[in-house]
Amino acid sequence: MEIVILEHKPCALFAQWTKERCGNKQLEYIGVTIGRNGIQHVIKCNGKYYILINDNCLLNELLPSCPLVKVPEYRNGRFYFYCLHTPSFQKKINTTRYWVVKCKKAQLTERQILALMLFVEGGLRHVAETLKVHRSTASRLVKNSVRKLLVFYVNFAGQRSSVADLENKLMEEDTGD
């Protein structure tokens, strides 16, 4: 599994909107959602939360060919997109003006990748039934895969949280499924 970080300047609408609302004050980019009207950027500025709806956003082009693995970041006037590398995404990179910042592979086996995909589709029961393994084996396979991704993510994306912190958060959110 290969993850690519793309660097891209914001569109004119985003730049103008943030300049009008925030001026020279620091804005905090909270995240992005996909709505009926297009991409919705959630921004915090001057203590208030705003939603900027943009039907002409770069993410409209990016998302069909490239699943994001992390919420986009906005730093120093640039967006950073963390994406899974796919063949259709490679075509998109070759035909548009993205800046590829980093590209690195997480060392997951085919079975671990499959387990994660099955888990997303239907939880641990679905993993166990499809792979014909005991539920505890499915749980261990998924947790080890997530742990590898966490280690990769911390090392690759330069996050401040430790792997242990991220694992604890994961365990807290574990519903016992």
pLDDT digits (tens, 9 = 90+) for 18-73: 888 887 677 888 888 877 777 888 999 888 898 888 887 877 777 777 777 778 88
Reference 30, options 43, 19, 17, 39; nearest CA is 43
User: What is the per-residue burial (b if ≥16 Cβ within 10 Å, else e) of 131-164?
Assistant: eebeeeebbebbbebbebbbebbbebbeeeeeee
**Beta bridge partners of residue 28, listed in sequence order:** 44
**Are both 40 and 119 inside the same structural domain?**
no
Cβ neighbors of 114 (< 8 A, separation 6 or more) are 131
User: Which range of residues forms the domain containing residue 152?
Assistant: 110-173
| Total number of domains constituting the chain | 2
Q: Residues 24-37: pLDDT tens digits?
A: 677 888 888 877 77
Q: Are residues 114 and 101 in the same domain?
A: no
One domain for residues 19 and 74: yes
pLDDT class for 164, splitting at 50, 70, 90? low
| Mean pLDDT value across residues 118-133 | 91
pTM of the full structure: 0.56
pLDDT of residue 174: 45
Could you say which of 105, 134, 164 is where a domain stops? 105
Kindly state whether residues 93 and 117 are assigned to the same domain.
no
Maximum CA pair distance of the chain? 57
24 shares a domain with 65: yes
If one counts every other C-beta atom within 10 angstroms of the C-beta of residue 45, the result is 16
Instruction: Tell whether 60 and 74 lie within a shared domain.
Output: yes
User: Do 44 and 25 share a structural domain?
Assistant: yes
Same domain (yes/no): 49, 25: yes
Asked if residue 87 and residue 115 are part of one domain, the reply reads no
Q: pLDDT by residue (tens digit) across 75-114?
A: 888 888 887 777 777 777 666 666 666 666 667 788 888 8
